[in-house]
Amino acid sequence: MFIGWDWATETHDMTVMDASGKRVDRWGLAHTEEGFAKTLARLRRHGTPADLPVAIETTRGLAVDRLLAAGHPVVPVRRNAFHAMRPRWGASEAKTDAGDSMKLADSLRADGHLVPRPEPAEQATLALQSLTRTRADHVEARVAAVNQLAALLDEHWPGGKAAFAGLDSDIAMAFLERYPTPASAAKLTATRLEAWCKRRHYSGKKPGSVLIECLRAAPKAASHLGEAVVEQLVRVQVQLVQGIRATIRALDKAITTATETHPYAPLSATMPRTGKVSLGQIIGELGPILERAQSCEQFIAEAGVVPVTRASGKSRTVTFRYATNRRARVALTTFADNSRHGSTWATKIYNDARARKKRPHATRILARAWHRVMRACWRDGACYDPVIHQANGKVNTTADTPLAA
């Protein structure tokens, strides 16, 4: 049996098809607990869940999670590819929910053996992945909030922006909260500013005379807003930045705790320049790929650090791989770029790539080498050891049967 699931926000449509292409069952369900429970029970009437693969136009979400938890193999179908196949069922390309679920089931019946089926990753890996992805989102929000604050200061108080650039981030936020407008800092002197910074444990890289000069030398803004409005705007934006930074610190602690107890952590913890957050990102993003990849080359391709070759007739092009897990690529290339500052092996691979004029690609070439090291560690269940995994600058990838879960 083959099942097609046409999913939406409020309602879904299901079609069950046999091996000959005959529709055996079809029904709609609401996006409620009752709808999911009845659907899973109805599917069990047609066989055991392991023998009932489901084609669906997504790789994640509630429907996918419930199907995987029930034991159904899930076959994701790309929307663009499914749309391109529509002429296969008629020239009119008519679209209905019931028709789409039937087409999904039929495509699974004909081509399902060519599409990889995702397997649920370890719960600890998924938890770490969620924590690191949330942290990355908060970091982006912090950058946006700081940029908004800088633009606000540039428009209404350039002197505050100058002082902000001269102080540590924690002290800068406290300074802007204490002195949000030019009038509030009018009576500030070099001695008072230096004493204020000292009470907040400022590193002292710049004396108070330099800081006050930055504050006074900035041009005055021609703001049409009142002093009270500017003060409110600056303080609200500072509170936003401080709030986001607090959430990032809390996530850092949670990631550190989750990484210390993760079974994959000892395999990669000794790699050069690997911090707790960086290690958590590597495990969270690359762990699920490691668990489902059938070979080292598949692992490298799914992480997006190998180009795509398109050849037809006399034409041959090698282009950047866009269809990939972007977060996994960012996590790995960030680690690879840091590793070259702490490993002579990584430095040599990077410098050799640069010498071959691979300037935009040198980091990804180094990332591919680290991929093979990580795959070997996971396969053998051995912690990273430069002597073993970097012998003669190569990594043995002949065996792909994992020995470590």
Whether the CB-CB separation of 65 and 123 falls below 8 Å is answered with: no
Q: What integer pLDDT is reported at residue 404 of this predicted model?
A: 43
| DSSP assignment of 58-109 | -SSSHHHHHHHHHT--EEE--HHHHHHTGGGG-TT----HHHHHHHHHHHHH
Residue 392's pLDDT band, with cuts at 50, 70 and 90, is very low
Highest mean pLDDT among 139-153, 158-172, 188-202, 294-308 belongs to 139-153
Q: What integer pLDDT is reported at residue 20 of this predicted model?
A: 85
Percent of the chain with pLDDT over 70: 92
Buried b (16+ CB within 10 A) or exposed e, 282-303: bbbbbbbbbbebeebbebbbbb
Parse the chain into domains and list their residue ranges: 2-114, 126-257, 265-393
Q: Give the pairing type, strands 54-56 and 11-17.
A: unpaired
The yes-or-no verdict on residue 355 having pLDDT over 60 is: yes
The yes-or-no verdict on residue 401 having pLDDT over 50 is: no
Q: At what angle do helices 208-217 and 190-199 cross, to 10 degrees?
A: 120
Distance between CA atoms of residues 274 and 342, nearest Å: 10
The residue that leads in pLDDT, 256 or 184, is: 256
Distance between CA atoms of residues 236 and 233, nearest Å: 5
Distance of CA 213 to the CA centre of its chain: 42
The residue that leads in pLDDT, 394 or 15, is: 15
* pLDDT, tens digit (0-9, with 9 covering 90-100), for 239-260: 999 999 999 999 999 999 999 8
- Average pLDDT for 56-83: 82
Is 317 in a helix, a strand, or coil?
A: strand
Tokens of 155: 């428009």
Tokens of 192: 């008072």
The residue that leads in pLDDT, 240 or 275, is: 240
Percent of the chain with pLDDT over 90: 15
Superfamily of domain 2-114: ATPase, nucleotide binding domain (3.30.420.40)
The yes-or-no verdict on residue 403 having pLDDT over 50 is: no
The yes-or-no verdict on residue 115 having pLDDT over 60 is: yes
Highest mean pLDDT among 86-95, 148-157, 204-213, 380-389 belongs to 148-157
Q: What integer pLDDT is reported at residue 21 of this predicted model?
A: 84
Residue 166's pLDDT band, with cuts at 50, 70 and 90, is low
What CA–CA distances, in Å, run from 246 to 11, 167, 239, 242, 256? 39, 19, 10, 6, 16
Q: What integer pLDDT is reported at residue 191 of this predicted model?
A: 86
Is 4 in a helix, a strand, or coil?
A: strand
* pLDDT, tens digit (0-9, with 9 covering 90-100), for 21-40: 888 888 888 888 998 999 89
Q: What integer pLDDT is reported at residue 402 of this predicted model?
A: 44
Closest Cα partner for 135 from 227, 261, 306, 250? 250
Whether the CB-CB separation of 278 and 334 falls below 8 Å is answered with: yes
Q: What integer pLDDT is reported at residue 144 of this predicted model?
A: 94
Q: What integer pLDDT is reported at residue 390 of this predicted model?
A: 60
Q: What integer pLDDT is reported at residue 389 of this predicted model?
A: 63
Q: Give the pairing type, strands 74-76 and 54-56.
A: parallel
Tell me which DSSP letter residue 34 carries: H
pTM more than 0.85: no
The yes-or-no verdict on residue 347 having pLDDT over 80 is: yes
% helix, strand, coil for the chain, step of 5: 60, 10, 30
The mean pLDDT value of the chain amounts to 83
The yes-or-no verdict on residue 62 having pLDDT over 90 is: no
The residue that leads in pLDDT, 142 or 385, is: 142
Distance between CA atoms of residues 304 and 298, nearest Å: 10
Q: What integer pLDDT is reported at residue 167 of this predicted model?
A: 65
- Average pLDDT for 82-88: 78
The residue that leads in pLDDT, 324 or 165, is: 324
Whether the CB-CB separation of 404 and 379 falls below 8 Å is answered with: yes
The yes-or-no verdict on residue 90 having pLDDT over 70 is: yes
Q: Containing H/E element for 111?
A: helix 97-111
Tokens of 321: 């791989």
Residue 175's pLDDT band, with cuts at 50, 70 and 90, is confident
Closest Cα partner for 176 from 155, 191, 195, 159? 159
Assigned CATH topology for domain 126-257: Helix Hairpins (1.10.287)
φ, ψ (nearest 5 deg) of residue 76: -70, 140
Distance between CA atoms of residues 257 and 309, nearest Å: 41
Tokens of 362: 């040198």
- Average pLDDT for 119-136: 86
Q: What integer pLDDT is reported at residue 393 of this predicted model?
A: 47
Q: What integer pLDDT is reported at residue 164 of this predicted model?
A: 65
Asked if the domains 2-114 and 126-257 are classified in one and the same CATH topology, the answer is: no
